[in-house]
Amino acid sequence: MRAASTSYTPRKPHDTALYRIVREHLATFVAHTEATYAAPLPRYVVDAFERYIACGDFSRGFIRCHCDACAHDVLVPFSCKGRGVCPSCCARRMCNEAASITDRILPNAPVRQWVLSLPFELRGLAATKPDVLTALGRIFAEEIARVTKRLADVAGAETGAISFPQRFGGSLNLHVHFHTLAIDGVFEKSDDSVRVHEAPPPEKADVEDVAKRVRDRALRWLRRHRYLDERAAEERSNEPAAAAPMDDFSRIALAGGDFLSRPFAPSKQDEHAPREKKLGRFAASHHGFDVHCAVRIAADDDEGRERLVRYCARPPFALDRIEVLKDGRVTYLMKTARRGSTHRVMSPVEFLARLAVLIPPPYFPLVRYHGVFAARSAWRHLVTPKPPASYARPAKRKPCKDSPDAPVPAKPSPPPPALPPPLSLPRETSPSGTPAPASALAEPVLSVAPLARDAVVPVVPVVAAVAPVAPAADPTVITVKHWNRLLEGELFAASSRVDWQLLLHRTFGFDALTCPKCAKKMRILATIIEPAVVRKILRHLGVRADPLPLAPARDPTGQTNIDFDAA
């Protein structure tokens, strides 16, 4: 994060294989679905594809950033903020969740990752029924809390966890499973604060007990809500095919499909026969319910916690693994070779059907909080981390006639209390090497943009850096190491929705509001969405001013292979 800031460069989504596939075959996919199934394709799926087509397109609108020093302008296009199709927006959401959870939710305590994989017969049901997925995640979190409390053996203590239900596997397949980050210990309440008691590592019997109890409770819940079909296989196979497209797409995404091998592709498994699962101490399996809990992050490793949250909230697929063959078929490089094959091969329509299954429904949370981290928990305000007392939140913007997006200066913070010398951090200096004047420390400056070379670097007051120093027993105070990693609080995620320019700076190390010519701070001048104005500006700059049209619907015969039995 301390790397030198570079100028912002817009991405080019139109040059990717994914964009070309969606643009050329979306109309065909929608028309084929309407002609094949009695029920239409859900509107949220079509909206996700259409918004991805408009994501990053300057012809759909942009914001204009202006530099008052050199009169240079930079245009930043709008994003779709999708959760299933757009790789850029999914990656941005991943980094936003990691920053928010690391800074605002997870305290300075050890964290253990618990992973639950569902049986093959249950994955399709959990992918299409939100209440089933919610119940399974709740049962898994409750069993983790039960084992953790028993291992810690502290009366009246509580614990918490954050679960990430994932719908995808490593080969663009439907694989519903849970990544749950649980505190590897318990919280004990003491007056107005809490104390963490670390739990010993779980034994093999503890992991097996979690898998068995999750399986038993899940079957009871499914049977009570009439989701469990206990008829014979012959009787179930005589039923007609599903009329809803998403149910059939789930069956397609669960099927094996066609594969091929590429000599240049990395292969992690060379055996042609499937390997037997080797279950270690931190792994157990019980009738298809697989539990794994070997990954653990220590208490003082805030960077490790953020990396782990990014892994749990990662996008469903990787853009650089998609390739279009000469005959029009689509290949996807699998994470792990399957019986010597390295790529999954599918038609464009089948590829879009697999993507449609991976799109989460609207109002369906992808991050869930359990125990003391739940929204209505009385412990939440005690266990979540707090920024230093002298930290001033960024001021809210208010409308203005001349500059509607001009930020309001922050009010000066109260004078800090006297601190005993020596200070734990050196005094900030300017780029020329001279100490910063006392006026630069008058109030906290939270701008993330680097200033000009001859200007004094704005810093947070020194008291903000040393205020987090507290006894080790208090896990709810952000440590000096974590605060310094965030550039003395400049990159701190003050809310669950991190500002876009702050998120880009924290993720990629550059500031989008830094002028590429003079490296000074730019300001947002206007938001331009009127089509006539957008076309006039883009034509003046020599950029494509009209959106790219979608290819018309064609006969999918010959390019669509979605026969479930053949697969």
Q: Where are the chain's structural domains?
A: 1-228+242-256+276-320+345-410+446-567
Rounded distance, CA 465 to CA 107, Å? 18
Residue 285, strand partner residues: 290
Could you tell me if 248 and 242 are in contact, meaning their C-beta atoms sit under 8 angstroms apart? yes
Pull the structure tokens for residue 409: 């200066």
- Angle between helix 120-128 and helix 245-254 axes, rounded to 10 deg: 150
How far is C-alpha 430 from the chain's CA centre? 36
Query: How many residues are there in the chain?
Result: 567
Closest CA to 88 of 327, 425, 251, 315: 315
What is the pLDDT, as a whole number, of residue 332?
A: 94
Closest listed residue to residue 511, CA positions, set 72, 519, 457: 519
Distance CA 567, CA 556 (A): 18
Q: Any idea which residue has 């700076």 for tokens?
A: 505
Q: Which one, of 111, 140, 106, lies nearest residue 126 by Cα?
A: 140
What is the DSSP track for 485-547?
HTTTTTT---SSS--HHHHHHHHHS--TTB-TTT-PBPEEEEEE--HHHHHHHHHHHT---SP
C-alpha span between 20 and 218 (Å, rounded): 42
Rounded distance between C-alpha atoms, residue 166 and residue 113, angstroms? 14
Residues 420-449 have pLDDT tens digits of 333 233 333 333 343 333 333 233 222 223
Is the preceding peptide bond at 240 cis, omega within 30 degrees of 0?
no
Position 338: which residue type? Answer: R
Written as one string, the DSSP assignment of 119-176 is: -HHHHHHHHH-HHHHHHHHHHHHHHHHHHHHHHH--TT-B-EEEEEEEEE-TTS-EEE
Q: Calculate the alpha carbon distances from 32 to 25, 240, 330, 350, 356 in Å.
A: 10, 20, 18, 11, 14
How many CB atoms lie under 10 A from the CB of residue 243? Answer: 11
Give the pLDDT score at 442.
31
Query: If you write DSSP's letter for every residue of 21-71 in order, what string do you get?
Result: HHHHHHHHHHHHHHHH-SSPPPHHHHHHHHHHHHTT-GGG-EEEEE-TTT-
Specify the 3-state DSSP secondary structure of 255.
Answer: coil
Residue whose token pair is 């999708």: 82
Closest CA to 488 of 496, 479, 497: 479
Model pTM? 0.79
Q: What is the mean pLDDT of each run of 10 residues along the chain (567 residues)?
A: 57 91 94 89 94 93 92 91 91 93 94 96 90 96 97 94 94 94 93 88 96 96 88 60 78 82 50 53 94 95 94 94 93 86 92 93 91 93 83 56 40 41 32 35 30 33 34 70 86 89 84 87 92 93 90 70 41
CB of 2 within 8 A of CB of 448? no
- Rounded CA separation 113/282 (Å): 11
